[in-house]
Amino acid sequence: DPRLAADGVTQADLEEQFALQLQIRETLEDARALAAKLGSAPSHAALRAKLVTARGAYPQPMLID
């Protein structure tokens, strides 16, 4: 897109952004896998609460919705 070049966005910028997106995706996959392992066991409720957004009106956003 020529508008990117006009704004000073370089190929290196795009590659860095892509690498960051991959890291974010991997982190979310890891978090979702951990939440699945924790399940709904009462002993893991506190940890799960720090990881997964609670249901209800205006909850504190967490890593996993």
Q: What is the pLDDT of residues 42-56, one digit of tens each?
A: 888 888 888 899 899
Nearest CA to 34 among 52, 55, 53? 52
Cα 18 to Cα 15: distance, rounded to the nearest angstrom: 5
Q: Is residue 65 part of a domain?
A: no
pTM reported for the whole predicted model:
0.71
Number of domains making up the chain:
1
Q: DSSP state, 64?
A: B
Cα 20 to Cα 26: distance, rounded to the nearest angstrom: 10
Q: Is residue 10 part of a domain?
A: yes
> pLDDT digits over 21-39, tens only?
999 999 999 999 998 888 8
Q: Is residue 45 part of a domain?
A: yes
Q: Is residue 43 part of a domain?
A: yes
What is the domain range of residue 6?
Answer: 2-51
Cα 55 to Cα 60: distance, rounded to the nearest angstrom: 10
